[in-house]
Chain A
Amino acid sequence: DAGVIQSPRHEVTEMGQEVTLRCKPISGHNSLFWYRQTMMRGLELLIYFNNNVPIDDSGMPEDRFSAKMPNASFSTLKIQPSEPRDSAVYFCASSPQVGRIIYEQYFGPGTRLTVT
């Protein structure tokens, strides 16, 4: 079974450009998470979806960031306009949440974003 798929794996863009990161969760998982990882701030939860509905977006840095999950097999994270401080590795993770407990998350390989 394929794991979480993210694309692109690497993205280099200039400040002010729009960036779209994509994620395909593991089939059958009903929860999806977007994270950002930097050396300074560690792994930060940006947004969490359950059954395609955003549950917690308190980690989204500002209005330049937006995330969608139009169906159970696809999600996007968009940054518009991008800034150099957005440079980080962005991870998508999915989980087979059971009831009120998130038992496990499976992470994708990440997208390394560099904004110059």
Chain B
Amino acid sequence: TQLLEQSPQFLSIQEGENLTVYCNSSSVFSSLQWYRQEPGEGPVLLVTVVTGGEVKKLKRLTFQFGDARKDSSLHITAAQPGDTGLYLCAGGGNYGQNFVFGPGTRLSVLP
């Protein structure tokens, strides 16, 4: 069974600070996704990475997929209170086999 670990579990920072959260596994994934979930809502997709070493940018968010496709990071520049939420990574093998979500990093950005 493929497992995803995320760190840190909780993160509280001031507005304007930079931060990085991590998603790690001992397994190789065909694709890896990052989602953000706000209270009372379902997760919302931020990005999908497929190629080892791939880097994608979404405004102030930078996502990187490890060369071996076993890990990923999410870096937020100049965090804002609107970035507050639960950040989840998720991945699976070919054709969705063993698709799993990590436990998430709960981010709080204080004004």
Contacts and interface: CB of A to CB of B under 8 A. Distances in A.
Q: Point out which of B41, B42, B45, B95 has the most chain A C-beta atoms below 10 A from its C-beta.
A: B42
Interface string B71-86: 0000000000000000
Interface of A is mostly: strand
Contacts of B90: 105
A107 B42 CA distance: 5
Interface in A20-56: 31, 33, 35, 42-45, 48, 50, 55-56
B10 to A, nearest CB: 13
Contacts of B95: 50, 55, 97, 100
Give the contact-size bracket for chain B.
Answer: 20 to 34
Contacts of A107: 42-44
A102 B92 CA distance: 8
8 contacts: A35-B101, A42-B101, A42-B103, A43-B101, A56-B98, A102-B96, A103-B33, A103-B50
